[in-house]
Amino acid sequence: MNTPGWFAALLQVIINGLLVGGVYALSAAGLNLVFGVLKVANIAHGDFMMLGAMTAYAVSLKLGLSPYAAMLVAAIVLAGIGALTQRFLVERVIHSPMFVSLLLLFAVSMILRNGALHVWGPTYVSLSHDSSVWTVGPLSFTKLRVAVFALGLGLTLALLWLLQKTAFGQSLRATAQHMDLAEACGINVRRVRMQAFALGTAIAAMSGALLVMLFSVNPSMGEIFVLKCFAIVVVGGLGSFSGAFAGAMIIGVAETLTSYYAATQLSDVTVFLLFLIVLVFRPSGVLGGKAT
Amino acid sequence: MPEPLLVVKDVQKHFGGVHAIRGCSFQVAGKSITGLVGPNGCGKTTMFNLVTGTFRPDSGAIVFAGRDVAGLRPHVMARLGVARTFQLTRVFKSMSILQNMLTVPSEQPAGERTRWAAEVLDAVGLAGQPETTAGNLSFGDQKLLEFARIFMLRPKLVLLDEIFAGISPALQERQMNVIRDFQTRFGVTFLVVDHTMRVIMNLCQEVLVMNQGQILARGTPAEVSHDQRVIEAYLGHRTTTKGGDNRGA
Amino acid sequence: MKNSKFLRLAPWVVALVALLVVPFTASGYITALFLSLLMYVTLAYGWNIISGYTGYVSFGQVAFFGVGGYTCAILAKGGVHWLVGSLVGGLVAGLLAILLGLVMLRLKGAYFAVGMLGLTQLFVALAGALKRVTNGSTGIFLPPSLTLVPVYLTMLGLALAAIIGTIFLHRSAFGLRLMAIREDEEAAESLGIHTTVYKIIAFSISAVIVAIAGGVMTWYVSFIDPQSAFPASLNLTMVIMAVFGGPGTVWGPLVGATSLGLIAELLWARYPGLYLVIYGIILLLIILYIPRGVVPSLGDFLRRRGEPVRKRRSGAVA
Ligand SMILES: Nc1ncnc2c1ncn2[C@@H]1O[C@H](COP(=O)(O)OP(=O)(O)OP(=O)(O)O)[C@@H](O)[C@H]1O
Ligand SMILES: [Mg+2]
């Protein structure tokens, strides 16, 4: 092969970014779902991801489950936690001004993050179990990354299918578009909101469980990841699932590019800068998604 | 005919695919009370939003007191003397009646402003307890407060968006008197949107009829109400004599 | 007449004198405790101006705490007196807030809140990355301050300034217009209020207050690094204290900061990990049961009980 070295390296970095992007896409889809149906900015989303990651880690270690089985357990547990959070907390302020639900979820975030820090301590954990690679010419693909990407992508597509093709998805979309009208049509919007939030936290949990297979994380991870998810959603245009998918890829690649060519510490700078620039100058997303 | 205070010329406005204002042109004579009527969704509120700078017209001219004002920001329009009420009442709910009035910036010295606030509140019939929290007022009183508040701007042109909707005939009468009073005493010009034909007939010297984003007809209330095109525009929409109620924004 | 005015002011004078003698008479521990409380009071009042009065809920005012801290540290390292350094820090933060406000305050509701959170993370990352200026994650060490007294008195002055400033703000036309923006920005604009200018001024004042506190505290702990400059815990506590007491009120931040500040100091010593959890729970309960905060709710309660309300709260503009 006569690919120049620098080009192969660049390609490799971009591929790595795209592979991480699969998980980001999944997580951002969860955030989008909750925002769409409940019109609530879930600022605790990153902490639900963290709970998913920590639960998967604990379950896998204690029960000896495979990381993938542990991911499912985490999803179920977090769906329950999400349902309770929605039913007893968020639902009670659903008709209040935006900042009330924002402060409420801010409180939930504090409790989850600091509670988790109390229980598990600040040590980093990881479920990374496999480091074998496929080699294609000058490029190498970590098998685990590919698997995680495929899972992230598959779950995102499954969610889209659920939303587009099922009666359940129909009721979610109806509520997202017109809460009053949906109610008038006999949809139990309270239940729909609970289902949407539970599904959103379950998705957060799965993406957290996938992340803990790739990286080391600790109970503070939510602080950064909630912003990454907002960045993705904003870059892709709020409420647009295909936009969020593209946004996830953009953020993933931007991150790995910065880490590789500048410095690892700067990767967050890039992400937040991108986030702020898009938020302020293109609030409808770089892809011109739905305006808000 | 007196000098026009407001001239709207060939204004267009789209919202995505919706062509809300389609080459709208009209004039409002200075010191007049002009009505603006038309079926639901014909673009009356949008026209107000264009004149007050909330929206920028896609094309066309908006001339106020001899100056092209299209696209100026709302606060600038307010300072120039264009005041408006909102179709859905927007008082500052956590503030008192008096605070609502005194929030409005003006060059007047404080004492003069407070005196003027009291005078306006008295005129609309809200002088009773200026310390009452606006959010605790009845729906009708909130409408009165919003109406009173715009006079703190000492406006030249006042745009009223359905201030008579959903309030009692007695209160409507009172508001009409205030409008006439400000017109004669201070030379304020009014452009009044309403579906309550009794009010429009009584109050306005001239009526503009809008349909599908254009001015369809203009004339005295009597002329307009007998215009065949106007009757057709309204047909199937609503009876033109009934008071306004539960309509969307 | 004169007598009653004196009687009303007397408790405040006593409290002020008591606060003034604390650093000269009390133990180091008590003085440090009071210093913390005064810092909480200052920060809660700072947050209250942009978020309580203007309604732009910020989850990132701590960004200015760090800006003030770094400015003070860098200047102090270069031989400038720390007090001057802190004031310059306030100035820098105030100017920065004007620039940032031009873009950030275009965001509404949740966008602004989350945007400010992102901005803070950006500052943390930048503080770590700009090693030439900030010395990166190693941080900047300052000579340890030998006495608490000047730091304490400065913070007392700052807290008082914030409180008195808020009293005036609440009665001023300026404050009234900030509240109008909070209630309904579009209506405020239609009444001739140049909302952008008002919001940026409020944001900038808030930044100045928070930044000066950041400078003073940095001198007090004689050290700054990206983590201590933008402490996540402070970011949370200033929001919670103001919301607990009553955002957009004159006395809410004082009540919230002193009561929760005391709890924080007690819990902090015993359960360093848990106090933020407890804080979160308090915030939850407040939002669910008394969303307007303690001070307005207590006021309502007393009024319903038929107690004569002495203070005539006519926030009317003079
Ligand atoms: N902000 C907006 N975005 C999109 N479409 C809009 C917007 N404002 C108005 N429209 C559309 O423009 C058209 C005119 O609306 P407008 O509110 O001006 O009617 P109106 O004459 O005031 O009606 P009504 O008597 O019911 O108040 C409608 O089709 C409406 O849906
Ligand atoms: Mg209308």
**Closest residue by CA, ligand 1 atom 9:** B46
Write out pLDDT tens, residues C32-50.
999 999 999 999 999 999 9
Q: Neighbouring chains of B at 3+ CB pairs within 8 Å?
A: C
| Residues 6+ positions from B166 with CB-CB distance below 8 Å | B139, B140, B143, B243, B244, B245
Write out pLDDT tens, residues C131-147.
888 988 899 999 987 78
- Enclosing domain of residue B100: 4-235
How many distinct structural domains can be found in chain B?
1
* pLDDT > 70? residue B237: no
Per-window interface: C 182-201 vs A, CB < 8 A: none
B93 to chain C: which residues are within 8 Å by CB? Answer: 183
**Closest residue by CA, ligand 1 atom 6:** B15
Nearest CB to C277; choose among A102, A115, A283: A115
CA-based diameter of chain A, in Å? Answer: 65
The ipTM value here is: 0.87
Q: Which two tokens stand for residue C42?
A: 């200052």
Give the angle subtended at the CA of A107 by the CAs of A105 and A108, to the nearest 5°: 60
Nearest to C206 by CA among C39, C49, C98, C87: C49
Distance of CA A161 to CAs A158, A167, A169, C188, Å? 5, 11, 8, 45
Confidence class for position A271, pLDDT limits 50, 70, 90: confident
Query: Which tops the pLDDT comparison, A114 or A184?
Result: A114
Query: Which tops the pLDDT comparison, B106 or C178?
Result: C178
Confidence class for position A283, pLDDT limits 50, 70, 90: low
Domain boundaries, chain A: 5-281
Query: Can you name the CATH fold of A5-281?
Result: ABC transporter involved in vitamin B12 uptake, BtuC (1.10.3470)
Q: Do A102 and C109 touch (CB under 8 A)?
A: yes
Q: Which secondary-structure segment (H or E) carries C190?
A: helix C185-190
- Distance separating alpha carbons of residues B99 and C176, to the nearest angstrom: 7
- Distance separating alpha carbons of residues A110 and C268, to the nearest angstrom: 15
* pLDDT > 70? residue B249: no
Other CB atoms within a 10 A radius of the CB of residue C295 amount to 21
- Tokens 């690679």 belong to A133
Long-range contacts, stretch A215-218, CB < 8 angstroms, 24+ apart: A215/A126, A216/A124, A216/A125, A216/A126, A217/A50, A217/A53, A217/A124, A217/A125, A217/A126, A218/A120, A218/A122, A218/A123, A218/A124, A218/A125
Handedness of CA C28, C34, C38, C41 (dihedral sign): positive
**C23 — contact with chain A (CB < 8 Å)?**
no
**A103 — contact with chain C (CB < 8 Å)?**
yes
Q: Report pLDDT for A8.
A: 84
H helices within chain B, ranges in order? Answer: 44-51, 74-80, 97-102, 110-124, 139-149, 169-186, 197-203, 221-225, 228-234
- Range with the poorest average pLDDT among A29-38, A268-277, B143-152, B183-192: A268-277
**C317 — contact with chain B (CB < 8 Å)?**
yes
**C290 — contact with chain A (CB < 8 Å)?**
no
Nearest CB to C273; choose among A102, A118, A227: A118
- Percent of chain C having pLDDT more than 90? 62
Our mutation pick for probing the ligand 1 site, out of B14, B18, B242, counting the most ligand atoms within 8 A of Cβ, is: B18
Q: Report pLDDT for A286.
A: 56
Q: Which residues surround ligand 2, an ion (CB under 5 A)?
A: B 45, 87
Q: Which two tokens stand for residue C317?
A: 């503009």
* pLDDT > 60? residue C305: yes
* pLDDT > 60? residue A85: yes
Write out pLDDT tens, residues A46-81.
999 999 999 999 999 999 899 999 999 999 999 999
H helices within C191-293, ranges in order? Answer: 195-221, 226-229, 232-245, 252-270, 275-289
- Distance separating alpha carbons of residues B60 and B153, to the nearest angstrom: 27
Q: Got the DSSP string for C62-102? A: HHHHHHHHHHHHHHHHTT--HHHHHHHHHHHHHHHHHHHHH
Round to the nearest angstrom and report the end-to-end CA distance of chain C.
21
Handedness of CA A213, A206, C124, A259 (dihedral sign): positive
Q: For ligand 1, what atom is nearest to the CA of residue B210?
A: 21
C277 to chain A: which residues are within 8 Å by CB? Answer: 110-111, 114-115, 118
Other CB atoms within a 10 A radius of the CB of residue B184 amount to 10
Query: Which tops the pLDDT comparison, A73 or B198?
Result: A73
Q: Report pLDDT for C307.
A: 52
Residue B228, domain member (yes or no)? yes
Residue B241, domain member (yes or no)? no
Handedness of CA C259, C265, C270, C275 (dihedral sign): positive
- Percent of chain A having pLDDT more than 90? 42
- Range with the poorest average pLDDT among A101-110, A279-288, B209-218, C33-42: A279-288
Q: Report pLDDT for A166.
A: 87
**Closest residue by CA, ligand 1 atom 25:** B40
**Closest residue by CA, ligand 1 atom 22:** B45
**Closest residue by CA, ligand 1 atom 23:** B41
Q: Which two tokens stand for residue B21?
A: 């204002």
- Distance separating alpha carbons of residues B43 and C72, to the nearest angstrom: 57
Nearest to B106 by CA among B98, B117, B96, B95: B117
Q: How much is the pTM?
A: 0.89
Q: What is the mean pLDDT of chain C?
A: 89
DSSP three-state, residue C304: helix
Q: Report pLDDT for A288.
A: 47
**Mean pLDDT for the stretch of residues C237-256:** 94
User: How far does the centroid of ligand 2 lie from the alpha carbon of residue B87, in Å?
Assistant: 6
C121 to chain A: which residues are within 8 Å by CB? Answer: 223-224, 227, 268, 272
Our mutation pick for probing the ligand 1 site, out of B8, B11, B45, B87, counting the most ligand atoms within 8 A of Cβ, is: B45
Class of domain C31-317: mainly alpha
Other CB atoms within a 10 A radius of the CB of residue C155 amount to 24
C173 to chain B: which residues are within 8 Å by CB? Answer: 102-103, 105
Q: Neighbouring chains of A at 3+ CB pairs within 8 Å?
A: C
Report the chain B residue with the minimal C-alpha distance to residue C314.
B131
**Mean pLDDT for the stretch of residues A85-95:** 94
What's the length of chain C? 318
Contact assessment for residue B53 and residue B243, using Cβ atoms and an 8 Å cutoff: no
What is the per-residue burial (b if ≥16 Cβ within 10 Å, else e) of B229-240? Answer: ebeebbeeeeeb
CATH number at residue B16: 3.40.50.300
Q: Report pLDDT for C99.
A: 95
Contact assessment for residue C55 and residue C182, using Cβ atoms and an 8 Å cutoff: yes
Q: Got the DSSP string for chain A? A: ----HHHHHHHHHHHHHHHHHHHHHHHHHHHHHHHHHH----TTHHHHHHHHHHHHHHHHHHH---HHHHHHHHHHHHHHHHHHHHHHTGGGGTTS-HHHHHHHHHHHHHHHHHHHHHHH-S--B-------EEEETTEEEEHHHHHHHHHHHHHHHHHHHHHHHSHHHHHHHHHHH-HHHHHHTT--HHHHHHHHHHHHHHHHHHHHHHHHHHS-B-TTHHHHHHHHHHHHHHHH-TT-HHHHHHHHHHHHHHHHHHHHHT-TTHHHHHHHHHHHHHHHH-TTTTTT----
**C180 — contact with chain B (CB < 8 Å)?**
yes
Residue B248, domain member (yes or no)? no
**Closest residue by CA, ligand 1 atom 1:** B15
What does DSSP assign to residue C50? I
- Distance separating alpha carbons of residues A120 and A50, to the nearest angstrom: 12
Residues near ligand 1 with C-beta < 6 Å? B 15, 18, 20, 38, 40-46, 87, 247
Nearest to A12 by CA among A251, A214, A257: A257
Q: Checking DSSP bridges between strand B189-193 and strand B157-161, what pairing results, if any?
A: parallel
